[in-house]
Amino acid sequence: MPTITSWDDPACPIPVDYSREAFGEIRRAALDGFLALPRVGIGVGGLLLGRRENSRTVILDSVPIECSHADGPAFTLTLEETAGALELAAAAAPLLVVGWYCSKTRGTVALSERDLILYEQLCPEAWQVALLVRPRTVEPSRAALCFRVAEGLVVRGVDRVLQPCDPDPAEEPVLPEEPGLPEEPIAPAPPAEIQPPPFAAFAPPPRPSPLRRVAWVLAAAALVAAAGAGFVTRNDWMPRPPLRLTASDSGGQLTIRWNADSLPGIDHASLLLDDGGQPQSIQLDGDQLRSGRYQFERKSSHVTATLKAGAAQALTTFPATNQ
C-alpha cells in the first residue's frame, strides 16, 4: 500500500495528497538526469497520475514522457513528442492525469513560457497541478507545486525538501570535513637580485623575426575573418524577441498572426491547427513567415494553433483563454 502524505502549502487552493513512493521515483529519475551530463544535467519530465476525491487531488503514480532534448538539455518537447505525450495522457485510465512534472537542473526553478504551453496542453483543468523538481547530490533535492488561482494565473508555491521513500546511504549528503587549525604562514624568501649584463641598458631592442611578422599578419587576418563571420551569422547569436501568436475572427475567417521579427533567418516552419478536434499541419515557407499571418475558414467554435519555427514555439487559442 502506498504511503499517502499531505502536501502542506497554505498558498495552494487545492488540497493535494501524494504517494511518498511515487515522489521517491520522481526524485530518483530527476537525480539520474542530473548526473547524466556533468556540470549541466538533463531535465526529465512526465505525467502525474492519481484520482480526485471530494475536491482533493491525490497523486498516486507517475509515467515518464520521452524527450529527445533536440533543443538542449532542458526538458523541452518537439511537436511530435507533445503529440505522443497527449496520447500517453489519453491512455492513463483507470487513473486520472492530475498534473505533470519536470526537473530543473540549473537556473531559476520556475515554469518557462514553453512549460506553460505544455501545462495548458497536458493539464487544461483548473485543479491539475505541475511539480517542479531541483535535483541535488551534496544537499537535499527540493520540489515545489505550481497551480492555477481563481484569476487563471499560474502560481508557484513554496518549495520543500523532496525526501527519498527509502533512504539510500549512498545518496546521503556529503558534508565538508571539519576545518583544522590554520597553519603558520611561511614568509617567502626574498628574490635574489639579478645583475644586468654590462651595457644592457644601451643594447637596441631585438627586431622581430620574419616568421613572427608573418604570424602577426595571419592573426590580423583571422580577426577580420571572425568579425565578418559574426556579421554574416548575426541572426544566430543576436537576441531576438520571443515568438507570440494571436488569433482574430472576421465572419468565420480566422487569422493567425505572429511577430515576424522574432524569426530572422528562418525560411520554413510548421503551423499545427486543431479545429474542433480535427488536427492538420501546414508547412510555411520564408515568404509566408515574413508576412506574419495565416488566414483560413474555421469549421468549429474552438481552434488551437501552434507555430514551431526552429527553436521557437508559440501557441494561441480561439476564443482566447488564459495561458
Average pLDDT for residues 129-155, to the nearest whole number?
A: 88
**Residue-wise pLDDT tens digits, 202-215:** 445 556 566 666 66
pTM above 0.85, yes or no: no
Average pLDDT, the chain: 81
Residues of the chain with CATH 3.40.140.10: 4-167
Q: Where in the chain is the domain with CATH 2.60.40.10?
A: 245-318
Mean pLDDT of 50-73: 92
> 65-69, 187-191, 251-255: which has the highest mean pLDDT?
65-69
Q: For residue 177, what pLDDT is reported?
A: 38
Angle between helices 113-122 and 79-90 (to 10 degrees): 30
pLDDT band, residue 64 (cuts 50/70/90): very high
The architecture CATH gives domain 245-318: Sandwich (2.60)
Higher pLDDT, 183 or 316: 316
Residues in the chain: 323
- Whether the Cβ atoms of residue 52 and residue 96 lie closer than 8 Å to each other: yes
pLDDT digits (tens, 9 = 90+) for 86-119: 999 999 889 999 999 999 998 888 898 899 999 9
151-188 tens-digit pLDDT: 778 888 888 898 776 544 444 444 343 343 343 444 44
Q: How confident is the model at residue 321 (pLDDT cuts 50, 70, 90)?
A: low
C-alpha cell at 302: 474552438
pLDDT of residue 186: 41
**What band does 134 get if pLDDT is binned at 50, 70 and 90?**
very high
Q: Can you list the positions of beta strands (E) in the chain?
A: 4-6, 16-19, 45-53, 56-64, 96-103, 129-134, 142-148, 154-161, 245-250, 253-258, 268-275, 279-285, 293-297, 303-309, 312-318
262-302 residue pLDDT tens: 888 788 888 888 888 888 889 998 888 888 899 988 988 88
pLDDT in tens, 229-272: 766 566 565 566 888 888 888 888 889 998 888 888 788 888 88
Architecture, CATH, for domain 4-167: 3-Layer(aba) Sandwich (3.40)
